Amino acid sequence: MVKTSRSGKSGKPQRPRSAGSPPVRPEAASKAVVLLSGGLDSTTVLAMAREQGFIPYALSFRYGQRHHIELAAAEAVAQQLGAAGHIVIDIDLRILGGSALTADLPVPKDRDPAAMNKTDAIPITYVPARNTIFLSYALAYAEVLGAADIFLGINALDYSGYPDCRPEYLRAFQRLADLATRAGVQGQTRMRVHAPLLHLTKAQIIARGVALGVDYGLTRSCYDPGSDGAACGRCDSCQLRLLGFAQNGRPDPAPYAAAVPR
């Protein structure tokens, strides 16, 4: 099941300014698919794609995650940042389980930040093959749109050790995209997979988003929010996010449980 909403206008975006990494300068009015979870990283990437001159089409998933707060956030973000379109695709990864985000398993809390980036201890919040699944849908959507560019918010620094957030993973999927599309095989165009946050810290990502006018109060990143939508402040995602805002000398504008210092 796919739900479609119109977000923003399809007119020309602003021309690119400087970016944290060398920006891609597309031909006028080039379309791009942006994977949008409603979290901090993907929201920043949407803003960056727009700033670089692309007409972004946001793609989100209702995949059986513990909560749907992030999807409401994704819709608000797509509207605020002027996405030309926003679709939500339903897939049910609860059938497979294997993650605290898709099964009845406890979300780790209060972990030592130093332990979050250890690649030999992948946390239970890792959803098996999630980025590969999402990118496959993005690749199909890009072909249908006639787009040659896909953006996603993976990060190799503040990433909790997830295997599908590494540079080698990105290179491997780029190779797959070259081989798996009609446009690529026929030599019409080469799909380009962009991960502009790959080598940025959370603090650098937030600084970049603030410079682009991102309203981070609309975003939601918590793995285990309360029934009122307030972030727990204790899961890996919350801790990394709060640290990033602290390093920027800013309070996090998203709602948190009352006891969480910001």
Asked, for residue 250, whether it belongs to a domain, the answer is no
Give the model confidence (pLDDT) of 194-251 as tens digits.
Answer: 999 999 999 999 999 999 999 999 999 999 999 899 999 999 999 999 999 999 999 9
What is the domain-level CATH number for residue 11?
3.40.50.620
Mean pLDDT of 149-163: 86
Q: Classify residue 230 as exposed, middle or buried by CB count within 10 Å of its CB (0-12, 13-18, 19+).
A: middle
pLDDT of residue 202: 95
Q: How many helices (H) and strands (E) does the chain have?
A: 7, 6
Asked, for residue 246, whether it belongs to a domain, the answer is no
Asked, for residue 259, whether it belongs to a domain, the answer is no
d(CA 2, CA 212): 30
Asked, for residue 32, whether it belongs to a domain, the answer is yes
Residue 12 pLDDT greater than 50, yes or no: no
Q: How many domains does the chain have?
A: 1
pTM of the model: 0.87
Give the model confidence (pLDDT) of 90-147 as tens digits.
Answer: 999 999 999 999 999 999 999 887 677 665 678 899 999 999 999 999 999 999 999 9
Q: Encoding tokens for residue 142?
A: 């890009």
Asked, for residue 255, whether it belongs to a domain, the answer is no
Asked, for residue 258, whether it belongs to a domain, the answer is no
Q: Give the domain range for residue 118.
A: 2-221
Residue 173 pLDDT greater than 90, yes or no: yes
Asked, for residue 243, whether it belongs to a domain, the answer is no
Asked, for residue 54, whether it belongs to a domain, the answer is yes
Q: Encoding tokens for residue 154?
A: 């993976």
